[in-house]
Amino acid sequence: MTMPRLLIISFSTITADARLLKQITRLRQDFEVHTLGYGEKPAGVAEHLRIPDDLPIWRYDRIAVVLRRFRQAYWSNGAIAAAADALRGSDWDLVLANDVDAVGLALAQRSVHGVHADLHEYAPRQKEDVWKWRLFVAPFVRWMCRTFVVRADSVTTVGQGIADEYERVYGFRPGVVTNAAPYARLDPQPTSAPIKLVHSGAALRDRNILAIVDAVEVTSADVELALYLTPNDPGFLQEVRDRAGASRRVTLHAPVPYAELSRTLNSHDVGVHLLPPVNFNNTWALPNKFFDYVQARLGVIIGPSPEMSRVLHERGFGAVTEGFTAADLTRLLDGLDVEQVERWKQAANAAAQDLSGEMQAEGWARALQALLSRGDARSGA
């Protein structure tokens, strides 16, 4: 039997986009998957239409955006124009648009059963802590939401708080598919002494990494900290390197490939993440690393971020600090002991299957199957 033809649109390098790779892995079980995006052809797809690397999606016509000629700004974008040319004359059973920029293009395609939009953040407040973005770009993003996204046949996003805000502001209710990590067949390792804390991810100043370092330096608990950081901000990474080099408790490691991350983290005891609420998306974040720690069968310590806190309290695999400062983390670490960490690790092990990327990816499959079953038609925008 011929599989339905699914077009996945993403203005990202798909082979390096964990969320997209999970989409493809699950959806090619039910669909003949075609992709459009940057970079090389992803494994397992029938066809890949490549957007030229020298046409970044963020390069909208500044004058058109400032003058609020939003339709002109959208369709004159080089990446969108190139993608529209590549798709000219094509027909699909379904189209899946990844993130707000892709939805208008998706709606313009001939798709028998419609368009699903997967929104990776709350786009209208993505960089609200940057005044230029808030003043000039946010109105354009809001226009895309009310012009395109509201017309999608179904929608998913990454967390319940973000879904609630889309419904409150724009009137559509997304389903939730979290950025959960793939299931890892690992067992909790015996907790060591000193207790091994770990933080992995981007070397960015707003990730509060130095607050974690400060807390570890002064806590009375017997702990040490390992950092696995990607060089997103080389200047800040050097600051971290200097701090780690002067510390007996902190070690900075080279980043490891994502495929090796769960096994690398598994040799530690507790993952730590204090994400300060500098904007809406940080406030409501439910990030990859939270789930990476669960798949590594670690205990987890976080700041009082509502989405992460909700999942952690439901599953019991860690603790929440009172605030996002080094002092808040120090107070929690001062009471940490091996027996407590052992309980957290066992709870993480019990939750790992339910919180895996494979289980979450079923949310996309259900949404697309619902559109196929409904049989609605769409032709053009």
CATH of the domain at 247: 3.40.50.2000
Beta strands in 81-139 (DSSP E): 91-92, 94-98, 110-111, 115-119
Residue 186: inside a domain = no
- Count the domains in the chain: 2
Helix and strand totals (H; E) in the chain: 17, 16
- Same domain assignment for residues 276 and 371: no
Residue 188: inside a domain = no
- Same domain assignment for residues 336 and 362: no
pLDDT tens, position by position, 41-56: 999 999 999 999 999 9
pLDDT tens, position by position, 194-244: 999 999 999 999 899 999 999 999 999 999 999 999 999 999 999 999 999
With CA atoms as reference, report the closest residue to 171 among 149, 156, 144.
149
What gap in Å lies between CA 99 and CA 148, rounded to an integer? 11
Residue 279: inside a domain = yes
On whether the pTM is more than 0.75, the answer is: yes
- Same domain assignment for residues 151 and 123: yes
With CA atoms as reference, report the closest residue to 79 among 8, 11, 7.
11
pLDDT at residue 259 in the model: 85
pLDDT band per the 50, 70, 90 thresholds, residue 324: very high
